Structure 1
Amino acid sequence: MSARLHSAVARGHARVSGSALGPYQTAIVRIGFSFTWLLFLLREWPHRRELYGPGGPMSWDMAHRLLDTNRAFSALIWTDSTLWFEIVYTLGIVSSALLLLGWRTRTMSVLFMLGVLSLQNRSIFIGDGGDNLIHLMATYLALTRCGQVWSLDARRTARQKEPSRDTTGIVLWAVLGLVLLWAQLFTEARLFLTADGPLPGVGWGTVLWGLWIVQAGWWLVRRYAPGEPRTVLDVLANLAHNGALLVIMGEVCLLYASAGWYKIQGSRWQDGTALYYPLHLTYFSPWPGLADFMASNGTLVLVLTYGTVIMQVAFPFTLLNRRAKNVMLVLLMMEHLGIAIMLGLPFFSLAAIAADAVFLPTAFLLWSGARAARLRDRVLARVRRLRGPRAPERAEEPQARTLIG
């Protein structure tokens, strides 16, 4: 018995440390959350200053005092310059788009996290449950190897036969180091980067400089020590990835379990009328006619109210059975689509669906990826046909040179 247990433990250790589990699941989570945040930033572009900038109800001084108390991170507190706000907001859009495409995912995942934290912590009274979910998942994604598949990084790695100099990566690393040095020495950031940060006794400066140094170490080992040092770093990266993936899965389970059990304690959820009330709120009724139709059907309201509670409470337990879990995922995603349409909360629903995607089966993701690739190839082929055939390039004729002595 002890020999079997030892063998099982050894296999489990080899699997956890030898590979980054769930590459397709983490890739779809990366795509889902970066896409959601990108759409949100683009939609709120005309109102960005009122939401997070100098035109908002929460002044820079108020935000400065608040963050000095709770030690949350926000690059918008480094200076009250309007130009700096525009730079941070624009970089938030750029980092979201590049993370979506999977370009330099290690760096972009960190920048994506900093962009989310900077904007959301600048105005903490703006947002809903979807923003809280993006806030959490952006932090976890920075610890994952989310660019192994379905990314420009994966395509570049597949084309490279041996490690290259990677000039682009070196320039990006140097520029980010200079920005961090400027922030630490010449802005208000020195007060926040040296104080307690994400962990007691560990400031944000320690975290950011640590990540910057790790990036340099990773490149040096990959370039000049591809043997045992590279293996050790791969094992550490796999452990961090798998740990973060486990936390993401646990976070989704906790989200549904807590939401369901809190609903059970509410009298309106117990009598089956909870859904009736938001359907009559103007703020949550983008389609008043449809909302009135649903609210007028008591049986439908009752079924949807009880169904919501049952699905949320039962979801963590359905993970014990693959078929039950897949059916529950479909029902939950349909529920979130209904929330997006009926209550006008598209970004909350997109964030929730992106979080649910971590439990999607690999076979389904591979099938979806193949279908998307075929669709992409068809679109590109159609574009080429519309452009017409390319003109054949003329071969260069050798020019004879006559030497006259």
Structure 2
Amino acid sequence: MEPGEGLHDTVLPRAAVVAGAGGRGRGRRAVNRFSLAVSRGIARVTEAALGPYQTAVIRIGFSATWLLFLLRELPHRSELYGPDGPWSWGLAEQLIRANEAFTVLMWSDGRIWFEIVYALAILSSALLLLGWRTRTMSVVFMVGVLSLQNRSVFVGDGGDNVLHLMSVYLVFTRCAQVWSLDARRAARARAARERGERVTDRTGPALWCVSGFVLIAVTLAGRMEGDWLIPALLWTVWAAQALWWLAGRRATSGEPRILLDVVAGIVHNGALLVIMAEACLIYATAGWYKIQGSRWQDGTAVYYPLHLEYFSPWPALADLLSASGTLVMLVTYGTVLVQVAFPFTLFNRRVKNVLLALMITEHAVIAVVLGLPFFSLAMIAADAVFLPTSFLRRLGGWASRARDRLLRRGGRTPVPEQHAPESPETTHVGFGT
């Protein structure tokens, strides 16, 4: 036997076995860490509805945008969406028959029906803004937005497309966890239960009965023909509310209610993810399409809308901003850069917040300089989904203190500040929330 041959045959194989065992140990630890991370992620998604402050801001922003638009166009409502418009009821009927869009304004061509729908759109926007019976009002809000916009598809400035989509997504969110009358009502109900008092809700079941009667009547009348998606969504929400009430009132244990709450939380979190993805898609596609334009490439694109009469409510201000070629070039290239880069900055909180502030500022400038306030409000409301929770809580604290000062001046008792519920069971109470 050669010197060292036995050492080679015994020590090296043992070392290889030890190294292999160590590698398998590290592999198992990596798998365990991955499994733990996955389980934590699943628990976070299923245990609670995420982003309570962000979804509250989205609810307030889009309902306020639609409400202000309807109020501003109140004198011109008949020309925009009603029987006096250039896009007549017959033309709208032909188009809707082809694209199967949903609108209740096609149920009748009478002026009274149009006035009822327009009034309900205003009322639902105001109640959704306040957060009263949010589950029901979000559905009525969606019906109002779809009905008016699909009646006259050529009316709008780009923000209507965002509002159109977000009105559907809001139905799936639990957007009344904070800053709403529903949250205040839920807090009062919890306090009453802790005192041993019995809590009854008559308004919610009444809303459910009325909405069910309307759904049954219009379905039997054949008014739900066409696209199946919106009618199916209306029936699903109506049935889910009944199931929610039965699970909370008739079940002997809390397991059915907990299961429904987990499902509702998952649906909410999925809708929140879709809203975030939609906002990123809007900016990414807008930025990449701008890159392909020759005017955006040579840095002069911003100059031209400033000198269009339709987009110049303040001609002197537009002339002042476009007087410097360097400023026009920086704004043009900066707009493209921010829009293209924003989706990629979501992984860095500080950079994301800087770009978010720039985009909100840009939309505020567009609202003033180009005279597009509702487009800017819709985009700012969509941007709000990315705002930090700490900033939103501070903003809510400032608003609460300002409200308390006003109440004290009026001799009334201030209302306690609303915070996000610590348990998912405290999110909704009864029907219509």
Does the CA-based 8 Å contact 1:74-1:121 persist in structure 2?
Answer: yes
Preserved contact between residue 102 and residue 227 of structure 2 (Cα < 8 Å): no
1:178 maps to 213
Give the counterpart of 1:277 among 304, 329, 332: 304
Superposed, 1:328-339 pairs within 5 Å as 328-339=355-366
In structure 1, C-alpha distance between the alignment counterparts of 2:41 and 2:178, rounded to whole Å: 23
Residue 294 of structure 1 deviates from its aligned partner by: 1.5
Alpha-carbon distance in structure 1 between the residues aligned to 2:97 and 2:245: 35
**2:88 maps to which residue?**
59
Equivalent residue, structure 2, for 1:288: 315
Report what 2:235 is aligned to. 209
Q: 5 Å matches for 1:5-404?
A: 5-161=34-190, 162=193, 164-186=199-221, 190-191=222-223, 193-198=224-229, 204-225=230-251, 227-384=254-411
Check whether the contact 1:73–1:197 (CA below 8 A) recurs between aligned residues. Answer: no
Shift of 1:91: 0.5
Deviating beyond 6 angstroms after TM superposition, the runs of 4 or more aligned structure 1 residues are none
The superposition leaves residues 28-70 of structure 1 with CA deviations (integer Å, 9 ceiling, x where unpaired) of 0100000000000000000001000111111112212211221
Amino acid of the structure 2 residue aligned with 1:168: T
Residue 173 of structure 1 deviates from its aligned partner by: 1.1
- Give CA-to-partner distance per residue, 1:220-263, whole Å, 9 cap, x none: 21222261100110011011000000000000111111000100
Tell me how far apart the structure 1 counterparts of residues 409 and 102 of structure 2 sit (CA, whole Å): 47
Unaligned runs of 5+ in 2: 1-29, 413-433
Q: Deviations over 1:290-319 (max 9, x none)?
A: 111112211111111111111101111111
Give me the whole-angstrom Cα distance separating, in 2, the residues matched to 1:122 and 1:260.
30
Question: RCO greater where, 1 or 2, for CA within 8 Å and sep 6 or more?
Answer: 2
The alpha carbon displacement at 1:214 in A equals 1.2
Q: What is the alpha-carbon distance in structure 2 between the residues aligned to residue 309 and residue 11 of structure 1? A: 38
* Matched-pair contact (CA < 8 Å) for 1:78–1:183: no
The 1:164–1:63 alpha-carbon spacing in structure 2 relative to 1, beyond 3 Å, is farther
SS at match of 2:411: helix
TM-score computed with the length of structure 1 as normaliser:
0.91
* Contact 1:95 1:108 (8 Å CA) reproduced: yes
1:341-366 C-alpha deviation (Å, 9 max, x unpaired): 11000000011101000000000000
Aligned partner of 2:246: which letter? Answer: L
Gaps of 5+ in 1: 199-203, 386-405
8 Å contact from structure 2 (residues 169, 275) kept in 1: yes
Given the two structures, how large is their TM-score scaled by the length of structure 2? Answer: 0.85
Q: Counterparts of 2:31 and 2:327 in 1: how far apart (Å)?
A: 56
- Contact preservation (8 Å) 1:164, 1:223: no
Distance 1:365 1:16 in 2: 21
Q: 1:250, 1:208 → 2: CA distance?
A: 24
* CA offsets 1:102-158 (integer angstroms, 9 cap, x no match): 001111111111110000000000002100000011110100000011110000000
**Residue in 2 that maps onto 1:396:** none
Mapped to 1, the partners of 2:303 and 2:295 lie a distance apart of 9
CA distance in 2, matches of 1:67, 1:329: 38
Once residues 364 and 76 of structure 1 are traced to their aligned partners in structure 2, the CA distance between those partners, rounded to angstroms, is 41
Aligned residues of 1:26 and 1:144 also touching (Cα < 8 A)? yes
Structure with the greater alpha carbon radius of gyration: 2
* Residues 162-181 of structure 1, C-alpha deviations (whole Å, 9 max, x = no match): 47331101111111122222
* Partner SS for 1:302: helix
> Over aligned residues, Cα RMSD in angstroms?
1.3
State, as a whole percentage, how many aligned pairs show the same letter.
Answer: 65
